[in-house]
Structure 1
Amino acid sequence: MINWLMEQSILISLVSAFILVFHKPLLKQLGAHHMYSLWLAIPLMLLGSVVLRFVPNLLAESKIATFEHYRVLTSLAVKDSETFIPTPLVAALWLSGICVMAALLLLQRRYLDKLLRKSKPYTQNQSGELKNNGLMLADTLPILQSPEITSPMLTGVIKPMIIVPADFHKLTVKQQQAVLEHEQYHHERGDIITNLLAYSLLAMFWFNPLCWLAYKRFRDDQELACDAQITSSMNTDDKIAYSHALLAYSQHAQMGMLHTHYGNKNILKERIMQMKKYHGKSTVAIIAMTLGLSFASLMLNQQVQAGDHQSSSKESSTSSSKESSKESAKSHKQNVHPLTRVEPKYPKAAVEAKQNGYVKLKFDISKKGMVSNVKVIKSSPKGVFDKSAVKALKQWVYKESKKGAKGAKVQLDFVIDEPAANVERIKVTANK
């Protein structure tokens, strides 16, 4: 689990860093709606990781042929050193962070419950409609008023409602209508549930600073997308009035996990500048972007799950490479796929001695994909890496099959430095 979290954290960091670094040009080219949709890349990437764990042969490259070169690098696998934190302690720290995040969520739930109990119906909207010179906002959510908040917000998963501050009546009717439409659109788009899912992912990867930056930027893009929706049909005067409403509520608004935050002084200028631009919202474009992100996520996760394995073109000129090609082709036909591979530990003594080496292993695979009868065929240096390799291989899990496999063979290369051309590579065969 910890290894999976680390792998996904690296991938999330790459995607988040890309969006954060290129946010300004992407927003300019894509517009607020499509920029907000771009954040789908992260949950789709995590979903792709889960899919590939249960459906490893979804892509042709995920078959056993992709395991031709499996290297155990010291930078990834030195775990015997006393300087490393034990895995149970790492797991305990991670769970402690999740508990803190959950506690913060519960505290905000209590705050909102208390706020709702003290709130009263907004008296200027008795009929549930907002009218002025033919303008109407009908079928809106229940609107409450509270003196304890400084900015309008949408809250509630089961019973959603809009809460406005005590001075909301000071806005013009058009401004009130625009603000309420903004919060109503949050509801129609399901942003409260979306925010909960985003916070859940943040809680899972709380240790990654880029996740916190990405979460904040995601919430800001959410407000930009709502602004784009509401102001798309406004004339210049209405947009100016809407900007004044933003200015009035952008000084003290707080970001919450269970409510939206209409005001935001940190991106006030950005929100006002975006009103001068218009980018349409294309459903086809959003669907195409979602499908593209889904495919990219599957490919990216497939590369990570495959591990560190490379094929050596130099081997094609030697007699041993011809034999290994036949073995690999035979394995490919037999369709034996590892679902889970455990990284062997790089022995501390070998690290200190700067020793490279390899271990050739023979083993059986049951119908359920479990590994048994692991034996060392050959190793170099003899006895140095054998124990670590055997222990790791026993934990590998293969794809279930009707007959299993007998006499499967795998070679694990233990590498401190880049191996020379004559160092043997992994060769995997499965003989029934």
Structure 2
Amino acid sequence: MINWLMEQSILISLVSAFMLIFHKPLLKQLGAHHIYSLWLAIPLMLLGSLVLQLLPSLLAESKLETFEHYRVLASMAVKKSGTLLSTPLLVGLWLSGIAIMALLLLLQRRYLNQLLKKSKPYSKTQADKLPILQSPDITSPMLTGVLKPIIVVPDDFHKLSASQQEAVLEHERYHHDRGDIITNLLAYALLTMFWFNPLCWLAYRRFRDDQELACDAQITSSMNTNDKIAYSHALLAYSQHANIGMLHTHYGNKNILKERIMQMKKQHGKSTLTIIAMTLGLSFASLMLNQQVLAGDHQSSSNEQAEKSTKSQKQDIHPLTRVEPKYPKAAVEAKQNGFVQLKFDISTKGKVSNIKVVKSSPTGVFDKSAVKALKQWVYKKSKKGAKGAKVQLDFVIDEPATNVERIKVTAK
């Protein structure tokens, strides 16, 4: 699980960095609607990664060998550092972060419930498809509510002109029509999963800002110059409120006020086909990069990959979680390479048991570390499980250079 998270975190970082670095020219050329849709590439990339994880048999090239080989590398820095975090500790830290993020979500839900209880119907408007409440505790209009969406406006909302009020309300209605509250929850769920990655936080804020830009582009697309100026004044009136909430939209935002006003001068059309093509293009590129990461996960050449196979794979039972063995410190200091061949059973629930060392070299050097790691592997659930599955863990100090030809020689 930790390995998968780190792999996906790297890929998300690459996509996020691309979107953040090239955001300004992309926004200028593509427009707010298209740039906002490009953020779909991240969840699509993660979905593709899960498909690759769940269907590894589709990527298998050959099934010739009895043992499946996994390479265990040891960096020379290992012997200098004895403070590497263990897998259980990393999992504990990750789950603690998720718990904190969930708590923040619950606290905001509680705050919004109290806010709505104190709010009163806004009497200046006629019947609307969404309820409109007025609250003295907010300084900017917003949309909240997943099952029962409600627009909430501040006390001074009546000071805006009728046209400005209607434009602001239409802005919030468009949030509802597009399903932005649910979208924001999904984005927050991804942020919760990768809370440890600072680029994810920057990408989440940029995504929410792009959401507002896309709404502005939609509402002002049919406005004349005077109406756009009036709309800009409404933005300015609420520009001091920049609270990005997980369960509500944020109309006012002083951080991107200039960007929103400037963007209204450069209207771009919205093409559904263009949005689909760009999103799928970026997602496909990310997926190919993801596949390269998965292909290199075992640090083996293409010839070695073609020879991988195990009895469990023939039964479509493959490992979902692999814990890499710790390279023994003494072996690192002695610069020892070696391998351990293991035979084991897999229960119907995917648990590993009855582990036996078939062969190892040097004898006894890597056995304990290999057995300890294999006990923590989790395989795909199956109806019958597997008996006598086999795996070989190759312990290698340093990988040879990529320009050095490697030929595997076996003796029968």
Using the TM superposition, name which of 267-276 and 366-375 deviates more: 366-375
* SS across alignment from 2:339: strand
Structure 2 CA distance for aligned equivalents of residues 347 and 415 of structure 1 = 11
Match of 1:170 in 2: 159
Using the TM superposition, name which of 182-191 and 231-240 deviates more: 231-240
| Contact persistence 1:182–1:230 (CA under 8 A) | yes
| Contact persistence 1:154–1:183 (CA under 8 A) | yes
Task: Quote the RMSD (CA, aligned, Å).
Answer: 3.7
Mapping of 1:266-345 within 5 angstroms? Answer: 266-306=255-295, 307-311=297-301, 338-340=318-320, 341-345=322-326
* 2:399 aligned with 1:418: yes
Structure 1 CA distance for aligned equivalents of residues 277 and 161 of structure 2 = 40
* 2:369 aligned with 1:388: yes
What is the CA distance between 1:141 and its match in structure 2? 1.1
* 2:349 aligned with 1:359: no
Q: Which runs of 5 or more residues in structure 1 are unaligned?
A: 129-138, 314-320, 428-432
| Contact persistence 2:318–2:379 (CA under 8 A) | yes
| Contact persistence 1:20–1:214 (CA under 8 A) | yes
Structure 2 CA distance for aligned equivalents of residues 165 and 30 of structure 1 = 34
| Contact persistence 2:69–2:391 (CA under 8 A) | no
* SS across alignment from 1:244: helix
Structure 2 CA distance for aligned equivalents of residues 387 and 25 of structure 1 = 55
* 2:238 aligned with 1:245: no
| Contact persistence 1:365–1:398 (CA under 8 A) | no
Counterpart of 1:6, as a letter, is M
* SS across alignment from 1:252: coil
Structure 2 CA distance for aligned equivalents of residues 407 and 186 of structure 1 = 57
Counterpart of 1:205, as a letter, is F
- Aligned pairs, number: 403
What is the CA distance between 1:310 and its match in structure 2? 3.3
- Relative to structure 1, the CA distance from residue 27 to residue 73 in structure 2 (aligned partners, 3 Å threshold; closer, same or farther) is farther
Match of 1:131 in 2: none
Counterpart of 2:52, as a letter, is L
| Contact persistence 1:370–1:398 (CA under 8 A) | yes
| Contact persistence 2:310–2:389 (CA under 8 A) | no
| Contact persistence 2:185–2:246 (CA under 8 A) | yes
Using the TM superposition, name which of 208-217 and 81-90 deviates more: 81-90
Percent of aligned positions with the same letter in both sequences? 73
Offset from partner CA, 1:68-98 (integer Å, 9 cap, x none): 9853222599699641233333333222222
| Contact persistence 1:56–1:62 (CA under 8 A) | no
Counterpart of 1:350, as a letter, is A
Offset from partner CA, 1:312-371 (integer Å, 9 cap, x none): 78xxxxxxx9xx97x56999x968674434322211222233x14131526477696777
Match of 1:36 in 2: 36
- Relative to structure 1, the CA distance from residue 217 to residue 426 in structure 2 (aligned partners, 3 Å threshold; closer, same or farther) is farther
* 2:40 aligned with 1:60: no
Structure 2 CA distance for aligned equivalents of residues 328 and 69 of structure 1 = 7
Structure 2 CA distance for aligned equivalents of residues 28 and 374 of structure 1 = 62
* SS across alignment from 2:243: coil
- Relative to structure 1, the CA distance from residue 249 to residue 79 in structure 2 (aligned partners, 3 Å threshold; closer, same or farther) is farther
Counterpart of 2:90, as a letter, is V
Counterpart of 1:15, as a letter, is V
Structure 1 CA distance for aligned equivalents of residues 29 and 409 of structure 2 = 46
Q: TM-score, normalised by structure 1?
A: 0.80
